[in-house]
Amino acid sequence: DVLAEAATGLGSLTIYPEVDGLVRRVPAVIRAGDTLHPTLALEMIRLALGRKGMLVVVDPQVGLRGVAFGRQLVPTDALGRIWVDFAPLDRSRYVSVIDLLEGRVAEDFFRGRLVLIGSSAAAILDLKTTPLNASVPGVDVHAQLLETILGGSQVGRPPFAGLMEMAAMAVLGLLAIVVVPMVGARVALAVLLAVMASLAGGTWYAFKAHHLLLDPAYGAVATVIIFVLVGYGGFRREERRRQWEEAARRGLAQY
């Protein structure tokens, strides 16, 4: 209560990992009773900008769209989570509390900076796993979220991402059905590898150039499955043709 009363603002520290244990997104706001609390990074930005509040933008069709500071919108997914554009862990940006207390840090070192205070001890159970690091302090996730927002490098999935992935799966599946029976095995394999490389390259470009998250797995898996099924069908037809020819030769020999 003493800290809460003295604080200029209150931010949430809640971080939920994904089903595979990795932290990729951070809730922009959480509800405590009847009150919405922003995540720590958003609250720090609000205070740094001198704003009295922020807006939670909701779209009736898709859910939450983001959190706004005036005209600046921080986009979220439909459940109000912000994708973090993670970077490799950089311990040179950490300042030890011991160094600070013993005067080994310049007095003006923190002037004009946003500073987050956290712990890195394993016993406190605040170590997180991110896509780039197996173990980082939870405070580092908030710091990287802060950088993601301030740097304008928000990562997200466009509203049409699901439709694009399903369309790619359908088109590539039809392409495999049509092309594989018309060409030889080597050409079909080359086409399959080219398609897989194009999917991987396209989604990587979308992420690096536009910070868009697209999943190539649907189209890739569908193409591989259909390729295998069509190839197996051709193999079975060829096997039956050889069996029929063998049976025909035996019949003629007996006759």
Q: Does residue 254 have a pLDDT over 70?
A: no
Of the CA atoms within 13 Å of residue 213, those in its CB half-sphere come to 14
d(CA 119, CA 103): 20
Give the mean model confidence (pLDDT) for residues 35-55.
89
What confidence category does residue 252 fall into, taking pLDDT thresholds of 50, 70 and 90? low
Q: How buried is 145 (Cβ within 10 angstroms: 0-12 exposed, 13-18 middle, 19+ buried)?
A: buried
Task: Tell me what pLDDT residue 210 has.
Answer: 78
Whole-prediction pTM? 0.74
Task: Tell me what pLDDT residue 253 has.
Answer: 59
Q: Does residue 255 have a pLDDT over 60?
A: no
pLDDT tens digits along 94-131? 899 999 999 999 888 999 889 999 888 878 878 899 98
With CA atoms as reference, report the closest residue to 194 among 227, 164, 239: 227
